[in-house]
A = this chain, B = another copy of it.
Amino acid sequence: MARGNGNLIVADSSPVQEAPISEALRLRLEALQRDYVACLDDGRLDDWPEFFTDDCTYQIISRDSHARGEVAGFWFCDSKGMLRDRILYLRESSIRGLGVTRHILGGTRLLAWENDVVRSETSYLVVRTSREGEPQLFATGRYLDTVDIQGSVARFKEKLVLTDSSRIDMAIAAPV
């Protein structure tokens, strides 16, 4: 059951599930997630920052580090400009050529919403395939997202990528 608190609606975290409160909103977030991972898997990296608001934060950190309250992770960006810089760096460096990715997502769960801002979580699995190579399971984890919805446009205001593994891999130089 959703609980009202002023304008904030919080999805119930109890294990017993009930009829969806806002399935249309949830389906819309799933559409955003589908488009987001299609952008990455198609290699359209220049488009990637456009999925974020100007004042966004984007972070990749292990779930263990995050649970301990640490803030230093694999990546931290706090503006769309910083995301664009990352992509420029990737284009100029030799880190690419790591092949292609395939993101497979679980369904999106609504956590809370207030006016035009929605918090949600989505499980992800990423497979990487190098040129002429075989597919390798690269990473799994969970997106914790805050999405800003303005009319017909939805963008990530915060994207926290919580990786299940604590090991660093150079390939994390590419966005997840």
Contacts and interface: CB of A to CB of B under 8 A. Distances in A.
Given A16-B154, A106-B104, A164 B127 contact: yes
Integer count of this chain's copies in the complex: 3
A15 B27 contact: no
Interface residues of A, number: 64
A21 to B, nearest CB: 10
Q: Which of A32, A103, A125 has the most CB atoms of chain B within a 10 A radius of its CB? A: A125
Given A125-B125, A133-B165, 13 more contacts: A15-B44, A15-B51, A17-B154, A18-B154, A23-B24, A23-B27, A30-B107, A34-B107, A100-B164, A104-B125, A105-B107, A134-B167, A135-B165
Interface of A: 1, 14-20, 23-24, 27-28, 30-39, 41, 44, 47-48, 50-51, 63-64, 99-100, 102-107, 109, 121, 123, 125, 127, 129, 131-142, 152-155, 164-167
